[in-house]
């Protein structure tokens, strides 16, 4: 499929799916179950509003979502308490598949959700959205309900940055435009059609999620796109315009950490796909600097982008979801 054809056919606006009654009917006719997962770490300020909205609008008023869950990385604030109080199923990531080595990161939460949740479709929504709206879920679910050939739906939006004095009307997506889009342009040109490749909001069929590895850190979204593209092609993707997402700003140093993790994942993918050869082992040390008067302090951070294997290689998962499937083994990384 040509990229321009894909853009016209597989790019939507959330208003294309505003008839929620029809969407629910189609979902029920297909007999599909949908789980919404919110990965959290210290999100007490915004998690309650998200849960109230999704439960009232997309579970009670329109029964589109069957399961509403929070998977937490070990918050030290009241995130889990707030989530419980607003009716979410709340899980600690470390308590899911407890016999596996413990790892920390957003990607870890997303991976554990595949085992813990029951849905045929899993929708991931970040916990820090200040202008949360039902479109953040139904806009991503709908293409999977209406078109069976679609496997993975990404959100895109304007990303104004929130500051104490108000909202700046432009900005955001800095890592996408400075890092990801140039890399995709060089190595995977068709993936440049995805407007927000690093968006934290997406909906995916279980049979796709269970077959791809998950970096536990910043590289998870990038690896998803490359791996799904390699196995199912561009036609498996769709994207939905959600208009605007208001979120907290990250400083440049944090964006550097994110970029470092993404680059590790990206280069490992290039090596695995035999696109680059004889690549030496990548250093896990990121060096940054901060000034103290006229002196500069070196800050060294060890950031190793570990990965979990495809969930379908985990014995407990196959026992839970694929009792009759042939065993598949992959060494835990």
- Confidence bin at 91 (pLDDT 50/70/90): very high
Q: Are strands 34-40 and 121-124 parallel, antiparallel or unpaired?
A: parallel
For 3-321, CATH number? 3.90.550.10
DSSP class of 281:
P
Arithmetic mean of pLDDT, 169-174:
54
Q: Which residues are CB-contacts of 189 (< 8 A; sequence separation ≥ 6)?
A: 3
The rounded distance, in Å, linking the Cα atoms of 109 and 92 is 9
Which pLDDT value is given to residue 226?
98
DSSP secondary structure letters along 228-279: HHHHH-GGGEEEEEEEE--EE---HHHHHHHHHHHHHHHHHHHHHTTSS-SP
Q: Are strands 161-163 and 152-158 parallel, antiparallel or unpaired?
A: unpaired
Residues 105-137 as b or e (16 or more Cβ within 10 Å = b) = bbbbbbbbbbebbebbbbbbbbbbbebbbbbbb
Per-residue model confidence as pLDDT tens digits over 227-285: 999 999 999 999 999 998 885 667 788 899 999 999 999 999 999 999 998 888 888 89
Q: Does 171 score more than 80 pLDDT?
A: no
The rounded distance, in Å, linking the Cα atoms of 22 and 281 is 52
Q: Does 9 score more than 50 pLDDT?
A: yes
Which pLDDT value is given to residue 333?
44
Among 91-105, 152-166, 197-211, 247-261, which is the least confidently predicted range? Answer: 152-166
Which pLDDT value is given to residue 282?
87
Per-residue model confidence as pLDDT tens digits over 178-196: 999 999 999 999 999 999 9
Count of beta carbons in the 10 Å neighbourhood of residue 164: 4
Count of beta carbons in the 10 Å neighbourhood of residue 14: 21
The two three-digit tokens of residue 161, written as one number: 């940055």
Which pLDDT value is given to residue 68?
98
Query: Do 307 and 333 contact (CB within 8 A), yes or no?
Result: yes
Per-residue model confidence as pLDDT tens digits over 127-147: 999 999 999 999 999 999 999
DSSP secondary structure letters along 115-149: HH---SEEEE--S--TT--THHHHHHHHHHHH-TT
- Confidence bin at 71 (pLDDT 50/70/90): very high
Which pLDDT value is given to residue 248?
64
**If you search the block for the tokens 């179950």, which residue do you land on?**
33
Which pLDDT value is given to residue 174?
86
The two three-digit tokens of residue 201, written as one number: 């909001």
Which pLDDT value is given to residue 279?
85
pTM attached to this predicted model: 0.90
Arithmetic mean of pLDDT, 291-304:
83
Count of beta carbons in the 10 Å neighbourhood of residue 275: 12
Look at phi and psi of residue 295 and say left if phi exceeds 0, alpha if psi is from -120 to 50, else beta.
beta
Residues 205-231 as b or e (16 or more Cβ within 10 Å = b) = bbebbbbbbbbbbbbbbbbbbbbbbee
Which pLDDT value is given to residue 277?
86
The rounded distance, in Å, linking the Cα atoms of 78 and 92 is 13
Let me know if 18 is exposed, middle or buried by CB neighbors in 10 A (0-12, 13-18, 19+).
middle
Among 60-64, 104-108, 174-178, 292-296, which is the least confidently predicted range? Answer: 292-296
Among 21-25, 54-58, 175-179, 298-302, which is the least confidently predicted range? Answer: 298-302
- Confidence bin at 161 (pLDDT 50/70/90): very low
Query: Do 132 and 51 contact (CB within 8 A), yes or no?
Result: no
Let me know if 138 is exposed, middle or buried by CB neighbors in 10 A (0-12, 13-18, 19+).
buried
- Confidence bin at 290 (pLDDT 50/70/90): confident
DSSP class of 171:
-
- Confidence bin at 204 (pLDDT 50/70/90): very high
Query: Do 69 and 54 contact (CB within 8 A), yes or no?
Result: no
């Amino acid at each position: 499929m040509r990229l321009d054809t894909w853009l016209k056919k597989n790019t939507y606006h959330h208003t294309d799916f505003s008839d929620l009654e029809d969407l629910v009917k189609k979902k029920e006719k297909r007999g599909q179950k949908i789980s919404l997962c919110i990965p959290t770490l210290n999100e007490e300020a915004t998690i309650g509003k998200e849960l109230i909205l999704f439960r009232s609008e997309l579970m009670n008023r329109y029964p589109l979502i069957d399961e509403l869950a929070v998977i937490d990385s070990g918050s030290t604030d009241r995130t889990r308490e707030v989530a419980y109080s607003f009716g979410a199923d709340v899980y600690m990531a470390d308590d899911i598949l407890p016999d596996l080595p413990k790892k920390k990161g957003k990607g870890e939460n997303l991976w554990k959700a595949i085992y813990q949740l029951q849905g045929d479709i899993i929708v991931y929504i970040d916990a820090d959205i200040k202008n949360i709206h039902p479109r953040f879920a139904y806009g991503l679910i709908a293409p999977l309900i209406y078109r069976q050939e679609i496997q993975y739906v990404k959100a895109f939006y304007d990303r104004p940055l929130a500051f104490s004095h108000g909202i700046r009307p432009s900005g955001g997506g800095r890592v996408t435009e400075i890092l990801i889009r140039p890399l995709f342009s060089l190595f995977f040109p068709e993936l440049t059609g995805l407007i927000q490749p690093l968006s934290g909001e997406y909906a995916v069929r279980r049979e796709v999620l269970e077959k791809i590895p998950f970096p536990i850190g910043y590289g998870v979204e990038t690896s998803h796109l490359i791996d799904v593209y390699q196995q199912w092609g561009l036609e498996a993707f769709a994207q939905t315009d959600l208009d605007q997402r208001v979120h907290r700003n990250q400083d440049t140093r944090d964006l550097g950490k994110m970029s470092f993790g993404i680059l590790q994942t990206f280069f490992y993918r290039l090596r695995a796909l035999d696109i680059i050869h004889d690549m030496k082992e990548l250093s896990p040390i990121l060096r940054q600097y901060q000034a103290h008067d006229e002196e500069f302090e070196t800050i060294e951070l060890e950031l190793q982008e570990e990965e979990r294997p495809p969930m379908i290689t985990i014995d407990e998962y196959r026992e839970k979801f694929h009792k009759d499937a042939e065993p598949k083994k992959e060494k835990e990384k």
